[in-house]
Chains A and B, each alone.
Chain A
Amino acid sequence: MGKEIIKIAIPKGYLFEPCVELLGRAGYDVDFLLEDNRKLSIYSGRDLIQYIISRPMDIPVYVEHGACDIGFSGKDALMEKESRVYELLDLKNGRCRIILATLKDGVEKVKEHYRHFGMVKVATSYPNIAKKYFDEKGIQAEIIKLHGSVELAPVLGIADEILDITSTGRTLEENNLVEMEEIAVSTTRMIANITSYRVKYSLINNFINQIKNVIK
């Protein structure tokens, strides 16, 4: 069977750099991850690691189905996907908050609307989180799924409020939105496939320890 390798899923986008930086500090060879190309699958012969670069929302799915043994995933994606994966470590980077927001002058309007119709309209890229949140509060909500630029929804009048992530609050500000409530705080997590975690335990454990050393 040759030498065993581990397959690691790395998120594209804003989590990419902090994750690669962390790998670098932990002593892994990351130079070719930083090369400016469009390769989505990169093999490190030195570390025996296959890196898969993918959309953040797909990472829990890849790991759940065993396409990757380990992945770096935002807690927001984990909450949304509810994938059957193991959450091993908090990398403590990529911090953002999952919040409810509405138009600056809209808070009262939303409340009034809810009193009147017993229903709110929410636009989000996280329909599952939204559904759970409103179910728990016993509020009827119509959830509109959008693939990004959710901030537009209240401006365009297709939703009363939005459920989205924010880190600095700038996008909210620029789109004339205010935060109504914080639902959760998300950071990057290291996740593992259920069987890989057992079958490749020593490799994975080794990897966890390397990463742990540079987090603390």
Chain B
Amino acid sequence: MFESKKDSQVIKLPSGMRDILPPETDERNKIKEIIGREFKLWGYGEVNTPIFEYTKNISVGAGKNWKDKLINFFDVDGSPVSLRSDMTIPIARVAGMRIRENQLPARFCYFADSFRQSGVQRGVRRIYNQAGLELIGFKNSMIADIEVLIILINILNELDVRDYKIGLGHVEFIEGLCDWFKFDVKERDYIRKKVILKDFVALERNLEKKDKKKAEVFIQSLQPEVDVSRIADLISGIEDRKIIESFNYIKKVNDILTGLDYRGYLMTDFSIIRDFDYYTGLLFEVYCPYLNDIIGSGGRYDKLIKKFGKDIPATGFALDIDLTHKAIGGLESKENLKILLKLECSGNSMGSIKLIELARKLHRKGVVVELCYEDRPGLEEFAKEKKYSFIVEVKSGFESLKVIDVNKNIKKEEKVSDFIKGISKG
């Protein structure tokens, strides 16, 4: 009564949320299909988990300020609940709750939306559609990490993502560098924060106060590097167990993958720190030119499932579907024949019912048929926009029809029976 009509017509979505319409959904589905095929070939089974869970579970193993990044609300009984912010934590919970020793190793994959809080002003999305996998329960961590990386590279190549790079890092490397500098807890926090921001100016200033020469090594060893031996030279004088072991781990992963012909996609980057703090070993990120965000990431998280009751090592990755889609642009693929089917003179429902029958015949031959029961202006533009190749007008009596090739602008008349036969010939 008091509402002005104009205002009520302005419909908005909460910030960072959006709808996805059929053309985009189609392309995304094709991407997911390609990803799903690779998952399946390696024996990964899809899992689904609830979209929200108890906050105390969702926030397990996440970084200190991560709780502020969750979308939280209350359940009917007043318990705090949160939308999942990734799928790794719910899957770790599933593994802790449901997996028996004799079911290991478990190979899980998922296609799911996750939700993260962000400042309203920044216009950052709050919904993340991801495809990912988790490989749970192999004691030999390196070979499991290698499997996961190979699957990731195969997928990116299958999708024809151009010029991407995968950066390999290790959680322990920076810890080792901090040990080497004998930093206390507070200093470590500061260093980690600056490394996350890649604020090399502040890092250098801070480190140089302690030791100028060591500062140089610290900063240089955190730069992206295609040639692993250069990092090896750089750190050759340092006798810190964490640095040596983590470097050797990454070097070996790199060597094995290079040996398997996966050279060219990899580089080391020991500056990688993820905002989830459950990672314990290898970390990796996928970068693509012209995209200002990481399209995929993953790593090893050996201590996370323990928080849900079982001490099982695990590794995995997630690919962001929105960004992957942006990275490859459009997707051309072989499609079924698509036609718009209508009556020459529409308007009576008997005719429309016969039209449905004809459509069913065509469907059996795999033709995509969209029916027009009513006349509409601009049908050809409509057909072009929806990528239909033909408009088919059925004459009353259902004996003959007119085929209009939308792209070539050719019209020809045909008998209905001939038209159906023609399709089976291709």
Contact = CB atoms under 8 A, between A and B. Distances in A.
Say which size band chain A's interface belongs to.
20 to 34
A194 B199 contact: no
B78 interface: no
Interface stretch (A140-148, A175-183, A198-206): A198-206
A88 interface: yes
Nearest to A86: B198
A210 interface: no
Nearest to A69: B289
Contacts of B267: 198, 201
A202 B397 CA distance: 71
Contacts of A200: 289
Interface of A: 1, 64-66, 84, 86-90, 189, 193-202, 205
B184 interface: no
Nearest to B197: A87
B15 to A, nearest CB: 17
B258 interface: no
Interface residues of B, number: 25
A74 to B, nearest CB: 12
A33 to B, nearest CB: 24
A194 B293 contact: yes
Contacts, number: 62
Given A87-B197, A201-B224, A66 B292 contact: yes
B269 interface: yes
B292 A195 contact: yes
B277 to A, nearest CB: 19
B288 A195 contact: yes
Contacts of B290: 66, 195
B347 to A, nearest CB: 52
B223 A205 contact: yes
By Cβ-Cβ distance, the 9 closest A-B pairs, closest first, are A86-B198, A198-B287, A66-B292, A87-B199, A90-B201, A195-B287, A201-B224, A199-B289, A87-B201
B167 A199 contact: no
Interface string B173-204: 00000000000000000000000011111101
Contacts of B204: 90
Given A194-B293, A197-B224, 18 more contacts: A66-B290, A86-B199, A87-B200, A88-B201, A89-B200, A89-B201, A90-B201, A194-B292, A194-B294, A195-B288, A195-B292, A195-B293, A198-B224, A198-B269, A198-B287, A199-B287, A201-B267, A205-B223
Nearest to B203: A87
Contacts of A65: 292
Interface centre among B223, B269, B292 (most CB of A within 10 A): B292
Interface string B139-170: 00000000000000000000000011101000
A84 B291 CA distance: 13
Nearest to B272: A198
6 contacts: A86-B197, A87-B199, A88-B201, A90-B205, A198-B167, A198-B287
Contacts of B200: 86-89
Contact of A87 (B198, B223, B291, B293): B198
B320 to A, nearest CB: 13
A91 to B, nearest CB: 10
Contacts of A202: 226
B292 A199 contact: no
Contacts of B198: 86-88, 194, 197
Contacts of B269: 198
B201 A199 contact: no
A195 B223 contact: no
Contacts of A87: 197-202
B68 to A, nearest CB: 14
